[in-house]
A and B are shown apart, each in its own frame.
Chain A
């Protein structure tokens, strides 16, 4: 977006009814936050559940308010660690989770009634796991807080494929949201994660229009099931990206709040004000970080976090400086939490809501983005029903083009990146923090062995009965998937087995790879 050299009152910021006070419709300026500002958390998870549990404890000991747990690649694909395709990747980029016991170990001693637990995990499975872990520690599910990413439209096309057909993915999303609303009313059962769809190179308009499109689609389907909009809208949250064009990112959040409020009130008929103001959390962009001169990433994370604190987000995670290389090291985790704490405790930016509100530039940018995001949503909805768009690869095309656009603009220097296409230094003088950043965590083969040797120790009768229930439910388009999924996990079925039965119920092979035949 090209900005002019300066802005004047003619450009925006004069119609205060469109902006309004923080905490009032249309919520341009967000909600009034509690005195401690935003929820400070960091993405975590590495190796076995026990090892990740130590990571969570360390982060909480350093003052994090919540945790965001990400699975390793097999877990994100609901595949078990002992699947031949999984083995090289077990625990390397997140925690390995595939059974009830894993959740008990992951969350052992974590005060689930006092902190928020965000799942960057397959939502229905993680909700079931958290529910069972809460039950184990004697907690009422009603006290559980946190969020679960629901990506039924885009997951297969940009990352974290679960190898499930769209219809099943949508059913899992709707059933798990309904389950969470019923059982875990303080939990954000529907986290629209525009971070992960956009960090391949989407611009802010693409990011938020796709996000709002998915929120609208899921909301319509929930309403069609007979859920009143005010029953679920307050439990929707958005996790957005934050790149380096800071004013654009702040304006994007303000525009999204306004679009969301209007959509909920005007289109979906929500009457509860809590349904109008969306909870927005942010994960700073990993794509904006560089493998060259990794220490520079600390600076990037800090300015992004500062901008997001001023944008009035409800939760904040910084992509750590070693992100171009690995999931966060302990040092990087601590630096990211300290960055948030310095901003929160020392700068005072959280003391006033929307401190940049009224800036002619920011208000003009907010208006402009609001219009463009809205137009993009309308344009996509005019193309037809989303099932067809998903199946025809329409969204995949958007992601592909964005990736190419990003890499081209870095190559030709239109997107300026210090250390990459300017101010480059030779490798021998690029040493600062490099050793820490390049340290690696090898696959946790001991955990693979643990799962392998545990498998035959399970009681087979109840296990097979519960898996048959999952298969039957998957075959019946009217059936609820969440109850049989929860029961199967409780009976020591694994993610891979449950996902296999979901596929079989749809007439698909249980193993998406049928690896044994393909290998060698």
Chain B
């Protein structure tokens, strides 16, 4: 007879996971090795498992997963186990290496896949029990708050730094799965690593947005990894400054490629996918957020090409919204004001959360535009940053003036003067 080990388990499956083969098998193994098992069978909620564990003074909750989607309950279980100061172990033949890593990153104390060797499992389980008994389990993590974007899949371009990084982190905090794209592999990895422990997840996708194959590659990554895609944030941007008289062709081409051609192609690829889904009766509540700029709305001194490219985005937003709105996709643009590599001329701030120019302040607005409460907003631009948000007006016709045929040179001049007098003065370009 094996001498009893100090360890009491509550074991069961979660949600509507119908099969308990794994739960039964692991229970038998544990009992054979002298553990105590309180077997709860199928159809448990995290609440029930935790309540029984508390009542029975258990050391560990063991969850068998027969169908991967039930790992959706992991975060709630982790919270409850942390609150109780007990261990949490997942097992199941469907858990791939990536799933096991994911569960550990989310706070599980151990995770086992198909046919893990008994000795190895028991060694790890013993270690968990010992930590519980020694009172050295990690303290309860703060409640991360609601996850309004849980189940949504969003592609973010330019995700490695600045605004894109802030968007990625916020979207993950709100539960979304993010396909994070950038050309800078090392910085992107750092961003993706920073999403660990959030309610969502991110996977890196290193591509150059100016490559015509990139939109398809990003869509494929999202579909292969997550099965669906609900959002697109075309954020990648560059700055090439220079007055009209001095800007070189290469800089002009790059600005237009990154700011206009790339989001256009992304919309074409993702829009076609969403339209096909809608036509097949699987309409996705899809949302695209493009990136314009105050420069694109009002102009910026000595940034003619940059301003023109961003103005193009504002109009692309309007027309694409009209076209894709028919299939349930919204297209909006954000004009962010934030401290990034593109705006190093902004006055130095206190940094962190106190900095009014921190990109983190813009991110919740982008997340909201992708969320269920913004479905009515379509074809609009929103300016965000420096402690305020506003919705700029769009081009509208001015008061009409009659245009008689065969206008003389004098009359034409007079008509123009009258029309511009009535129209009033435009805003000066920014930076003046």
Q: Which residues of A line the B interface, CB within 8 A?
A: 47-48, 50-51, 54, 73-74, 76-77, 79, 85-86, 88-89, 92-93, 105, 159-161, 200-201, 290-292, 324-326, 400, 403-404, 406-408, 410-411, 420-421, 427, 435, 438-443, 445-446, 449, 512-513, 515, 518-520
Number of A-B contacts (CB under 8 A): 124
Q: Which residue of A201, A324, A440, A519 is within 8 Å of B114 (Cβ)? A: A324
Question: Knowing A73-B67, A159-B19 touch, does A439 contact B224 (C-beta < 8 A)?
Answer: yes
Q: Is the CB of A518 within 8 A of B69?
A: no
Q: Which residues of B line the A interface, CB within 8 A?
A: 15-21, 24-25, 28-29, 42-43, 45, 47-48, 67-70, 72-73, 93-94, 96-98, 113-115, 117-118, 151, 153, 224, 226-228, 280-285
* Chain B residue, CB-CB nearest to A445: B151
Q: Is the CB of A421 within 8 A of B25?
A: no
A44 → chain B closest CB, angstroms = 17
CA distance A280 to B308 in the complex (A): 72
Which residues of chain A have C-beta atoms less than 8 A from B285's C-beta? 446, 449
Q: Which residue of A324, A404, A427, A513 is within 8 Å of B43 (Cβ)? A: A513
Q: Is the CB of A290 within 8 A of B67?
A: no
Q: Is the CB of B67 within 8 A of A92?
A: yes
What would be 29 A-B contacts, judged by CB atoms less than 8 Å apart? A73-B15, A73-B18, A85-B43, A86-B16, A93-B67, A159-B18, A161-B43, A290-B114, A291-B93, A325-B96, A403-B25, A404-B24, A406-B21, A407-B28, A407-B29, A408-B28, A420-B115, A421-B115, A427-B97, A440-B227, A441-B227, A442-B151, A442-B227, A443-B69, A443-B72, A446-B283, A449-B285, A513-B45, A519-B45
Question: Knowing A161-B43, A445-B151, A520-B47 touch, does A73 contact B17 (C-beta < 8 A)?
Answer: yes
Which residues of chain A have C-beta atoms less than 8 A from B96's C-beta? 291, 325, 438
Which residues of chain A have C-beta atoms less than 8 A from B281's C-beta? 48, 50-51, 105
Which residues of chain A have C-beta atoms less than 8 A from B94's C-beta? 291, 324-325
- What DSSP secondary structure best describes chain B's contact surface? loop
Q: Which residue of A201, A421, A438, A449 is within 8 Å of B21 (Cβ)? A: A201
8 smallest A-B Cβ distances: which pairs?
A407-B25, A50-B281, A73-B16, A291-B114, A88-B72, A404-B28, A442-B227, A92-B69
B210 → chain A closest CB, angstroms = 27
Q: A54-B280, A512-B43 are in contact. List 8 more A-B contacts (CB 8 A).
A: A50-B282, A325-B96, A326-B68, A407-B25, A438-B96, A438-B98, A439-B224, A442-B151
Q: Which residue of A92, A200, A408 is within 8 Å of B19 (Cβ)? A: A200
CA distance A400 to B23 in the complex (A): 10
Q: Is the CB of A160 within 8 A of B18?
A: yes
Q: Which residue of A290, A292, A446 is within 8 Å of B282 (Cβ)? A: A446
CA distance A449 to B48 in the complex (A): 27
CA distance A439 to B98 in the complex (A): 12
Q: Which residue of B16, B47, B93, B97 is within 8 Å of A324 (Cβ)? A: B93
* Chain B residue, CB-CB nearest to A325: B94
Which residues of chain B have C-beta atoms less than 8 A from A86's C-beta? 16
Question: Knowing A403-B25, A411-B118, A442-B227 touch, does A88 contact B70 (C-beta < 8 A)?
Answer: yes
Q: Is the CB of A161 within 8 A of B42?
A: yes
* Chain B residue, CB-CB nearest to A430: B97
CA distance A439 to B24 in the complex (A): 27
CA distance A126 to B428 in the complex (A): 69
B341 → chain A closest CB, angstroms = 35
B174 → chain A closest CB, angstroms = 15
CA distance A123 to B45 in the complex (A): 27
Q: Is the CB of B151 within 8 A of A89?
A: no
CA distance A85 to B20 in the complex (A): 17
* Chain B residue, CB-CB nearest to A50: B281
Q: Is the CB of A518 within 8 A of B48?
A: yes
Q: Is the CB of A292 within 8 A of B70?
A: no
Interface centre among B21, B226, B227 (most CB of A within 10 A): B21
A391 → chain B closest CB, angstroms = 16
* Chain A residue, CB-CB nearest to B116: A411
CA distance A226 to B239 in the complex (A): 86
Question: Knowing A48-B281, A48-B282, A435-B224 touch, does A76 contact B18 (C-beta < 8 A)?
Answer: yes
Interface centre among B98, B113, B281 (most CB of A within 10 A): B281
Q: Which residue of A88, A159, A324, A411 is within 8 Å of B73 (Cβ)? A: A88
Which residues of chain A have C-beta atoms less than 8 A from B115's C-beta? 292, 410-411, 420-421
